[in-house]
Structure 1
């Protein structure tokens, strides 16, 4: 027999006990015996017993008086009661306490065998279901795929462990939350909502890619396969989404495409700069000669200055595009980061004339030493400062916080009090040629990102503390080491 059980017989009549042992052992079951309820209760918990066959009336009481204790001592057992003294009240009380079967003496061998066989089959099916459940749970918890289950209103029912690892969101934080509003970036919500509605209608959608917002505010790119889950009646009750994190692949593809664009831009700009340089030199030389001949405070002198500004703007634009397309080669040296941004701030003094502008600083006591290309880092701060000065209305307040972690990293928190960036602008701010200004090439923040990355660092947009734009930058210190933990800080401000 394939469904052998470990059975406990509780019986004080030797003949009945011997008869049942013969019947059950013939079918391959393992038999244990006890002569009283007290013997079982005093033996302690025994999870090995799968079935207990109990005489209803024994010298130490009736079975319904001991079922609660027996259930506790035999947690994995089903119960069959056999009796020659049946009554309706006792039978009902026993079934209410979870008894599986109730047999009258004398018990026919076929009856007891059929009852035990039915319980054995139930146990086998239950064990198979438990194995399948454990297997499914193991898959859910160990697979390197993101798994999300949503109800028909789009609220989170379940997320697996890998979803939490990738996004930082724990199940307790998401359950019953609107998934689209909580986890999908605004730019992707319309398409994600359409896919969800298709899934609710029973259509499977595969290969759909959308961003997922992490707890820290970053966006991970996930390729999803969505399908509907049905209940026992075949009715759709939820939507299952299984996703693979393709962020690195998408970034690699975008980087490759960007490199191709940069190469094309570089070739174009090199030719353009070569052809334009002589023309700009001639224009500038002619402007200088005209300045000598034309008096100040005349209309013609104003036109000459307009030509000069246009020539300078064209030269600056060509140089900015050329710098963006050219490879970044670093000349590293040890410097204090605050000294770099203060020097740039002083360069921009003319742009702050007659404006209400303040730069506040919060620094580590160590002074935030770094190993960087100083000129390149000046470019970084010049772009950040110029963007804030252009975007903010007076009073302009720019805040810089700089701290070290004692492990070779410097963290810079840059924030202004301007209008900030919309979700769409946040997605595009580091893209080449994207700009919110009326004038400009749209290369400033892209150059900033390239310089920071060239230093082995990272820059990202962060949630502002009040309003405005906020950027977090991490720079590694390379071979530089610090003895101090840099936990102290000091504040200062510059108008």
Structure 2
């Protein structure tokens, strides 16, 4: 609350008796009073911003003050205006209050009512002053914010546009005030933006208000760039406030990181292929060569003990050759590259039966057989690791693999079993460690092709793993990086 002695009041009154009465009331309450007896005296001053209250006699010797109310409100925007008059004509009261005066008194003035009015005006001024301070502080914060801050009314028209928004979008605030905010959005959002606002105002439902979203924005020069937008509804002011961050640099960094991650994955796959080629083209050939010579030695051996040793060596070599062939196939199944994913999964099913006694039932839609090698490699590796999980954890000797092509040109793969299942709360502990790849690695591999992975299980109810992957890669850069 203000101390009244610090508040100047301008009293414009020509009648000595009325002027004396009002001056005495103000003085008793410790207001500081400036006096003017005419319009000319009133206007002859330059301290308008000091006044808390201006009290005006409606009829003065040189004119009517009610005709000056709009001018006085501009000269003293922080002052309240009060009219005093000897006339009680209703039209004068209407005109005065249309000009948003604080109060209107007909002489003779009742001191108690007058003091009550002063108290009410003082309280109003105190609240208004605090509000102005808060508004000034908020404006200072908004003006210096590094994020763009834009407010719009319920018609989508911009009411404020801070300097950061000016820099971000290339428009000045003067250009944007009262323009539709859809100007800052690209098509097709631009054409439907007003519909989004109308739907929110009608239903209270929105995909943006009250949350943080990544969207696209449009610069003045037509450039489309990524932003992070947070919108708050301020119904008490009839506006929406949006805080906008340009995340172009962050997105570029993410793209670089994604490209590096893909390059690492591609390098790993290439290394596996090279290792498989070495095993196939060199080590296996060497082992086969040794075996041929052992066969010759067995035929020529005359000592039975030597012959038995050679037979045993031949058996060990046969096992070694089988292991290298199996390892070669697992590292780089040639059939996957030459005949596609469906045929490779048919081979994998036989291999899992032979090596792990796991009966894999297949339901494969050949139309879902992608021509993209990277997609095929990643899906094959994920399916193989999921089957390893079945072998190690499910306590069952049967699994099911279904692959189908969805209508939206996506591949769906479901790997399931009817084993003991597990508690999803202990998912990290349950995921296979047999081959060094767990759930997070399956998700990582699928992320390289924008795929997704879900795992469902319950104790005693088996496990279902579901993969959704694209049928083709739209990103030409990714396609070109295929090993």
Question: Which TM-score band (shorter chain)?
Answer: 0.3 to 0.5
More helix by share: 2
Scaled by the length of structure 1, what TM-score is found? 0.45
Q: TM-score, normalised by structure 2?
A: 0.46
Larger Cα-atom Rg: 2
Higher relative contact order (CA 8 A, sep 6+): 1
